[in-house]
Amino acid sequence: MSSLSCLSLISRGLLNLVYARQIQFRKLHKNNQRRFACRITWSNGDKDVFLGNDAQAIAQKLRQIT
C-alpha cells in the first residue's frame, strides 16, 4: 500500500484510494447552497459519497498523485 494514495479524512478516518475503481465529482445545489460532492465506487462494487471538506481533500489528493 503506497502512502501516496492514503489520506486522512475528518469524518471517516484513513482512506486508501488504491482500491477506488471510479471517482466522480459534482457540485450539489440544495437550499440555495452549493456543496462539493465526491462519489467513489470501490473495487468490490461498494459506493460511498463524501461531501464538503472531505470531498475537497480527496480532490486535492488526486491532484497530488496524478
pLDDT tens across 40-62, in order?
A: 999 999 999 999 999 999 999 99
Name the one residue in this structure whose C-alpha cell is 470501490.
42
- Per the structure, the complete domain to which residue 61 belongs is given by 3-65
pLDDT in tens, 12-46: 889 999 999 999 999 988 788 888 999 999 999 99
**11: nearest Cα among 41, 49, 47:** 49
Alpha carbons 63 and 33: distance in angstroms, whole number: 25
pLDDT at 7: 87
The runs of H, that is alpha helices, within 1-66 are 53-65
Give me the number of domains the chain comprises. 1
6: left (phi over 0), alpha (psi -120 to 50) or beta: beta
pTM of the model: 0.83
